[in-house]
Amino acid sequence: MQPYPSIRQPVYARNGMVATSQPLAAQAGLFILREGGNAVDAAIATAAALTVVEPTSNGIGGDLFALVWDSGEVHGLNGSGRSPALLNMDALPGGEMPTHGWLPVTVPGAPRAWADLHARFGRLPFEQVLAPAIEYARRGYALSPVLAHGWARGIQAHRQRTGVVFEPWLDTFAPSGFQPAPGALWASEAHATTLEQIARSGAADFYEGNLARRIDTYAQDTGGLLRAGDLAAHQSEWVKPISVRYQDHDVWEIPPNGQGIAALIALGILDGMDLPPTRDDEYGLHLQIEAMKLGFTDAHRYVADPAVSDVPVQQLLDPAYHAARRALIGEQALNPEPGDPQSHGTVYLATADGDGQMVSLIQSNYMGFGSGVVVPGTGIALQNRGHNFNLDASHPNALAPGKRPYHTIIPGFLTQGQHAVGPFGVMGGFMQPQGHVQVILNTLRYGMNPQQALDAPRWQWTSGKTVEVEHGLGASLSRALAARGHDLKVQLDPGAFGRGQIIWRDAKTGVLSGGSESRADGQAAAF
């Protein structure tokens, strides 16, 4: 019996599973598994397909982070790009960072991250792994309902932007005669050709070859600052994942410049609290919200590119620090302040194979379609991650050349002892750490299966004492939270609360159980 309205049940299988927000992408990954690929091959195939079948949330010109369970440990890959060498505070008109156009564009990291994941862990040839995505782009596919809705909103928003730099976007995503609706067909030969070049060259062409030259030329012709040298200098980074303990499990995240540490701080605070035994308890929700506010406030104060700024990761994850932050939580909502530890456009996917390898991968252009800049004739929609730089020169995340910005996208992973439990994630801007906390609590504290953990009504802290809740939370709980001083707002757009995927593995039997976001078109595909 499902405790929340849903038409979905969890999916169970033994041989392999792919869970993501678009069914065709899930099928691409499943196809690669059935062809003999491993979980990493399936993850890359799914990620590449998502640039085609869900361009409303990611693209070839985006970034990627991944956690891989292999050989008994969690491996982390930071595939985020840096700001152009020519970008600095003086380049910003009026001292403000725009949301669209060339200025917020940072170096895309996704293509190189695909190649680096494959080089270290892949089994099938790289060209074979990208083949399903290329076929979708070349032959076309039918739009799913949530995708079509987001696409239509994207076109409406893009038509408000003026300038020659935005015209190739319309040529690519709103060609003559195309109307995004469920079942409408879309294809892109340019996108297919670009993916073929990436596949043949192991992504080298994107950073040092013909594709890099085309990006450079278009930037110079239309006032952009991204150059071939920025692309050639880009490298992914293998990183040591960070974790906290919650109820005898370890929850893993990528370290900064990602914001996963916000979720870990909140869980560290909550692990020392006696939460009510039922999920739908106003006091328990109050404690969760307060812990999340403190975690987020610290993240916004300290998270930056660790190659440039000293990010106090270990201090922020210290149980003693969590205890001090926990002591600030009372019966009423607080206005959070950062502590002193020294004293909406993303796709997520999870994969698992029959041999035990598992992948948690997230990929994004940010703000839906990204910057609105598409390199003509390539299908490359560029991200706008530079918008997350801080414009206070004294802040650790201050805008500077060759620097990675604060990044919202975060993959999650759960282990218990020496065993992998599995990958999880909830995409969606600053909702993501909050979604991570909620699905982990739903799983470990409240005993929900993967689909239930995703279907449960969500809340989202936005700023100060303001909290948005889904209507499914109910009037009684909402009134009780308001009585505790929370400025409560009912958000009717389900997309505002993120879109998640989960795959858990039973350590004794090897059986996989998966759930896929009911707020999206997604699917947990298995065999």
- Cα–Cα distance measured from residue 61 to residue 384, given in angstroms and rounded to the nearest whole number: 10
Residues in the chain: 527
346 is catalytic: yes
Helices (H), 122-238: 126-139, 145-158, 167-173, 189-201, 204-208, 210-222, 228-233
Smallest Cα–Cα separation from 430: which of 361, 344, 519? 344
274: left (phi over 0), alpha (psi -120 to 50) or beta: beta
Residues paired with residue 67 on neighbouring β-strands, in sequence order: 76, 360
Are 252 and 267 contacting, i.e. CB atoms less than 8 angstroms apart?
A: no
The verdict on pTM exceeding 0.85 is yes
Angle at 243 between CA 83 and CA 79, to 5 degrees: 25
Residue 134 makes CB contacts below 8 A (sequence gap 6+) with: 192, 195, 196, 199
Tokens (6 digits) for 167: 């015209």
* pLDDT value for 61: 97
In order along its 527 residues, the chain shows pLDDT tens digits of: 445 666 789 999 999 999 999 999 999 999 999 999 999 999 999 999 999 999 999 999 999 999 999 999 999 999 999 999 999 999 998 889 999 999 999 999 999 999 999 999 999 999 999 999 999 999 999 999 999 999 999 999 999 999 999 999 999 999 999 999 999 999 999 999 999 999 999 999 999 999 999 999 999 999 999 999 999 999 999 999 999 999 999 999 999 999 999 999 999 999 989 999 999 999 999 999 999 999 999 999 999 999 999 999 999 999 999 999 999 999 999 988 877 665 456 899 999 999 999 999 999 999 889 999 999 999 999 999 999 999 999 999 999 999 999 999 999 999 999 999 999 999 888 899 999 999 999 999 999 999 999 999 999 999 999 999 998 999 999 999 999 999 999 998 888 899 999 999 999 999 999 999 999 999 999 99
- The HSE-up count of residue 342 (CA atoms within 13 Å, CB side) is 5
Can you tell me the distance from the alpha carbon of 287 to that of 276, in angstroms, rounded to the nearest whole number?
10
DSSP β-ladder status, 380-381 and 141-142:
unpaired
Cα–Cα distance measured from residue 94 to residue 72, given in angstroms and rounded to the nearest whole number: 51
Task: Assess contact for 112 and 207: CB atoms under 8 A.
Answer: yes
How far apart are alpha carbons 25 and 23 in whole angstroms? 5
Beta-bridged to residue 257, according to DSSP, are none
pLDDT of residue 343: 44
Measured at the CA of 267, the angle between CA 475 and CA 399, to 5 degrees, comes to: 100
Residue 1: the pLDDT is 42
Q: Which residue out of 46, 346, 351, 408 is catalytically annotated? A: 346
C-alpha distances (whole Å) from 316 to each of 59, 64, 248, 487 are 33, 24, 20, 28
| Tokens linked to 322 | 């969590």
**Residue ranges per domain, the chain?**
12-237+351-388, 239-345+414-526
Query: What pLDDT digit, counting tens, does each position of 468-518 carry?
Result: 999 899 999 999 999 999 999 999 888 889 999 999 999 999 999 999 999
Q: Check: CATH 3.60.20.40 for 239-345+414-526?
A: yes
